[in-house]
Homo-oligomer: A and B are copies of this chain.
Amino acid sequence: MKPSDWKILNRKVRFGDCDSAGVIHFHNLLRWSHESWEESIEIYGIPYQEVFPDLSERINKIIFPIVNCEANFFSPIKVGNFLEIKILPKKINNHLFQVNSLFMKNEIKVAEGKLIHCSIDFESKEKVQLPDQLEKWIESCNLNDHCQEC
């Protein structure tokens, strides 16, 4: 396994993702940004439940509500398009992290998404430090394939 395995993901634009103008309905891009880092976390090897808990089970848990999100659209994303998604997370401070997603179509950047998450204890609603595993994943995404082999 090398960083590119969990830093570069793929997605096909489905019929239901698009609106009457035949292009992606804009807010789906932010849904994809979120689903992309969910997928990246899994490929990297963090058990899904440790980051995205089933809150109905009511064990002490950390959640990551979004405090800011943004998207830029550079070129139309249409039904049937095959996209490459590059994930770049970074730590902002002890309880905030950001995930940038770059959407490429045939090597051309068509859109980008940005999510800023806050790390919060589900019970107390207090800000808490980012979990270690999440920090490791962030670091691993900032390595290039070559570095990791050293």
By a beta-carbon cutoff of 8 Å, the part of chain A in contact with chain B is 12, 14-16, 18-23, 25-28, 30-31, 34-35, 38-39, 42, 48-49, 52-58, 63, 65-73, 76, 78-80, 115, 122
Contacts and interface: CB of A to CB of B under 8 A. Distances in A.
Contacts of A58: 58
Given A65-B21, A66-B73, A70-B70, A55 B52 contact: no
Copy number in the complex reads: 4
Given A16-B19, A18-B20, A23-B65, A54 B79 contact: yes
Contact of A68 (B31, B35, B73): B73
Question: Which 10 pairs show the lowest CB-CB distances between chains A and B?
Answer: A22-B56, A48-B80, A70-B70, A26-B66, A27-B27, A27-B30, A15-B52, A18-B20, A20-B22, A20-B55
